[in-house]
C-alpha cells in the first residue's frame, strides 16, 4: 500500500491559525500590544530576499508586527552588532531574525551570539542549543520543530521508536536529534562519514533526511511502514526535489512528506509560533519584575 502523504501546507496553515488566535488573545491582555518580529537582511541575495519577504508577510498575516532592517552588503560587523544591541534593548521587539548566510566579511557566529537568548526565535544561539541538549525549555530551531509537528500530526509514535537523522548541521540535524531524544526516541545521527548508510537507514521507524543531496535516500533504504521526513530542498533541472527518492520511497513508507509542500512550509509557521512564545515569556517576566 502506498504511503500516506503528509501535507505540510495544511499543517502549517493550522499552526498559523492557532498563532493568529493566540496573538489576538495576547493583544487583548496586553493593552493592544502585539508581538514584534525584527528581521535583518544584509546584502541583496535574491533567495534571502524572498525568504525574508515571506517571513514578513506571514508575520503580518497572523497579526504581529514586522520590523525590517535591510543593510548594505558592505555593512561592517560592528554596525550590525550595534543594531542587534538596539533590537535587544527595544521592548517592542520580541524576536530577532538575522537572515543567514551573512557576507563573508562578517563573523556569523559572533552575530548570532549577540542576540538576546530571550529573543532568539531562530533557536540558533549556543544558549538555546544548550537548553535543548539538556532537555530544558527554550526557543527551538524552526525547521526541526516543524518536523516534530508533522510527526505529531501524522500520528507517528515517537516514544521508543528507532529514529535515524541523516545530517548533523546546527540548523537541522543536531537540534532535531535532540528533539527526538527528548521525546524518547532511540536516535542515530548519520553524516558524510557514516559507514553503510543504507543499512542504518533501514533500521529506522522514523527516517529524516537533511543533507542537501537530490534523491540520495533510496526506496530500498526505507523500512516498510516507516515515517519518512524529507527536509532537503534541491534545485535541479526537474525542479525542486528533496533528499529522498520520493517515488520509490512512497511505495514502502507508511507516511512520507513531499518536496515541495512537506517540511518547507512548516519553517516559517514555527518561526511565528516562536515569536509568540518569546513575547509571552517576556511579558510574564516583565510582570513578575514589576510585581
Catalytic annotation, residues:
55, 99, 122
197: contact with ligand NDP by CB under 6 A: yes
Q: How far apart are CA 38 and CA 36, in angstroms?
A: 7
| Among 81, 34, 6, 11, residue whose Cα is nearest residue 276 | 34
Residue 208's DSSP bridge partners are 165, 229
Q: For 138, how many CA atoms within 13 A lie in the half-sphere containing its CB?
A: 25
48: contact with ligand NDP by CB under 6 A: no
**How far is the CA of 157 from the CAs of 145, 160, 206, 226, 277, in angstroms?**
16, 8, 9, 11, 26
Q: How far apart are CA 212 and CA 259, in angstroms?
A: 12
Classify 156 as helix, strand or coil.
Answer: coil
Piece in contact with ligand NDP (CB under 6 A), picked from 83-91, 217-225, 229-237, 274-282: 229-237
**Which cell numbers hold the place of 64?**
504581529
CB atoms within 10 A of CB 95: 30
Select the residue interacting with ligand NDP from 171, 252, 255, 269 (CB under 6 A). Answer: 171
100: contact with ligand NDP by CB under 6 A: no
264: contact with ligand NDP by CB under 6 A: yes
Select the residue interacting with ligand NDP from 39, 257, 267, 273 (CB under 6 A). Answer: 267
Nearer to ligand NDP, 83 or 266 (CB): 266
271: contact with ligand NDP by CB under 6 A: no
**Which cell numbers hold the place of 234?**
534541491
As measured in angstroms, the least distance from the Cβ of 157 to ligand NDP is 23
Select the residue interacting with ligand NDP from 158, 166, 244, 272 (CB under 6 A). Answer: 166
Nearer to ligand NDP, 20 or 233 (CB): 233
**Phi first, then psi: what are they for 264, rounded to 5°?**
-45, -55
Nearer to ligand NDP, 143 or 275 (CB): 143
**Dihedral angle over CA of 149, 152, 156, 161, nearest 10:** 70
192: contact with ligand NDP by CB under 6 A: yes
Residues 200-219 that bind ligand NDP (CB under 6 A): 210-213
Residues that bind ligand NDP (CB under 6 A): 143, 166-169, 171-173, 190-194, 197, 210-213, 231-234, 263-264, 267
Amino acid at each position: 500500500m502506498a504511503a500516506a502523504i503528509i501535507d505540510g501546507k495544511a499543517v502549517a496553515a493550522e499552526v498559523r491559525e492557532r498563532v493568529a488566535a493566540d496573538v489576538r488573545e495576547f493583544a487583548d491582555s496586553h493593552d493592544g500590544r502585539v508581538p514584534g518580529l525584527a528581521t535583518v537582511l544584509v546584502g541583496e541575495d535574491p533567495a534571502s530576499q524572498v525568504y525574508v519577504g515571506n517571513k514578513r508577510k506571514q508575520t503580518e498575516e497572523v497579526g504581529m508586527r514586522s520590523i525590517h532592517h535591510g543593510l548594505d552588503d558592505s555593512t561592517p560587523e560592528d554596525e550590525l552588532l550595534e543594531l542587534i544591541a538596539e533590537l535587544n534593548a527595544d521592548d517592542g521587539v520580541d524576536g530577532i531574525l538575522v537572515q543567514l548566510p551573512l557576507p563573508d566579511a562578517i563573523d556569523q557566529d559572533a552575530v548570532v551570539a549577540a542576540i538576546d537568548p530571550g529573543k532568539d526565535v531562530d533557536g540558533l544561539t549556543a544558549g538555546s542549543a544548550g537548553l535543548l541538549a539538556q532537555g530544558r525549555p527554550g526557543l527551538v530551531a524552526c525547521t526541526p520543530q516543524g518536523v516534530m509537528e508533522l510527526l505529531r500530526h501524522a500520528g507517528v509514535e515517537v516514544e521508543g521508536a528507532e529514529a535515524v537523522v541523516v545530517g548533523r548541521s546546527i540548523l537541522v540535524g543536531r537540534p532535531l536529534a535532540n528533539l527526538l531524544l527528548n521525546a524518547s526516541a532511540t536516535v542515530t545521527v548519520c553524516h558524510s562519514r557514516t559507514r553503510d548508510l543504507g543499512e542504518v537507514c533501514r533500521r529506522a521507524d522514523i527516517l529524516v533526511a537533511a543533507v542537501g543531496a537530490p534523491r540520495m535516500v533510496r526506496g530500498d533504504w526505507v523500512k516498510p511502514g516507516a515515517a519518512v521526513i524529507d527536509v532537503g530542498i534541491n534545485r535541479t533541472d526537474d525542479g525542486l526535489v528533496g533528499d529522498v527518492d520520493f517515488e520509490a520511497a512512497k511505495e514502502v513508507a507508511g507516511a512520507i512528506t513531499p518536496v515541495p509542500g512537506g517540511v518547507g512550509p512548516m519553517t516559517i509557521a514555527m518561526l511565528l509560533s516562536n515569536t509568540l512564545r518569546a513575547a509571552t515569556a517576556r511579558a510574564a517576566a516583565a510582570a513578575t519584575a514589576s510585581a
